[in-house]
Chains A and B, each alone.
Chain A
Amino acid sequence: MIFIFSNMVSLDYFLTLSIILFSIGVIGVLIRRNAIIIFMSIELMLNSVNLSLISFSSFMGDSQGQILVFFVMAVAAAEAAVGLAIIIALFRNKETINIDEINILKW
């Protein structure tokens, strides 16, 4: 990579970091079987998208990216609350959070 040797922190640095974190989140969703860890990987992916939004906002001098981050955070909080409630309800009924065993909606 050429941009490692330049001396300035430019936009592509932050975008690259955001992409790496997003891909780690994708790997976490795909390889883990524990529903809570899959959920945390989704939070990681939301965070990496927030990072790219903030870096665009700062480098272009536009506040709309930061406004969008607020809404993403609010939706992430709502999603976490409902998702964890679903996990609790599932655990009460099936005594497991292994997603391979939660397959009653599978045809």
Chain B
Amino acid sequence: MENIQLILYTVFGVLAIFSAIMMITRRNPIASALWLIFNFFMISGLYFLLRAQFIAIIQILVYAGAIMVLFIFVIMLLKLTDEKKLSEIMTYQKITAILFSILLMALLVFTVYVNFADKYTEISTEAETISKAENLGRELFLKYAFPIEAIGLLLLATIVGAVVLAKKKFE
């Protein structure tokens, strides 16, 4: 049983990393967006592996469904004729940036390895009950009622802001 989990983790993890690398290296923004959608599906598979089924579905619905459709619409709205001329050459600045990012990754992996190796080796037995929609809904609307209202206000402000920003003329 644990073996199947390890195999699934490896498949989802390797595909997620691969699609992320493909996403940041494609020239065409549409190809990038499609690789990012693939990456979101793989991360959703990892959520299923972690027994967070409701979040996994929400991930597909909100990220792969709503947000990425918005991205693809905007990419298609912009007339990116000069996209080929966009200078994406390797400079010393970029190579230094990559090196420091890899240094950051090594530092974080080291920290995790020092603090969490051989701790928490199994998924908690309560994981299945806490990630049910029933439990999450109860927590969200009873314990976190005020943050939910604040998020509603934030989304309203976002709608108004997006319409104002994308309007033809400011005046």
Contacts and interface: CB of A to CB of B under 8 A. Distances in A.
B11 to A, nearest CB: 12
Interface in B43-57: 43, 46-47, 49-52, 54-55
A60 B119 CA distance: 11
Contacts of B66: 77
Contacts of A98: 82, 86-87
The A interface is mostly helix, strand or loop, or mixed, namely helix
A20 B86 contact: no
A85 B54 CA distance: 30
A86 B166 CA distance: 7
B40 A40 contact: no
Interface string B100-111: 011011001100
Interface residues of B, number: 87
A24 B17 contact: yes
A91 B74 CA distance: 11
Contact of B43 (A10, A19, A41, A47): A47
Contacts of B140: 67, 70
Contacts of B171: none
B101 A23 contact: yes
Nearest to A30: B97
Interface string B1-39: 011011001000100110011011000010011001001
A11 B155 CA distance: 33
Contacts of B127: 57-59, 61
B86 A59 contact: no
A78 B147 contact: no
B39 A44 contact: yes
Nearest to B158: A78
Contacts of B122: 8, 10, 59
A66 B136 contact: yes
A85 B23 contact: no
A102 interface: no
Q: When A and B form their complex, which 6 residue pairs have the shortest distance between CB atoms, in order from nearest?
A: A61-B124, A28-B24, A23-B105, A30-B97, A85-B165, A61-B126
6 contacts: A10-B121, A37-B32, A44-B23, A85-B165, A86-B165, A98-B86
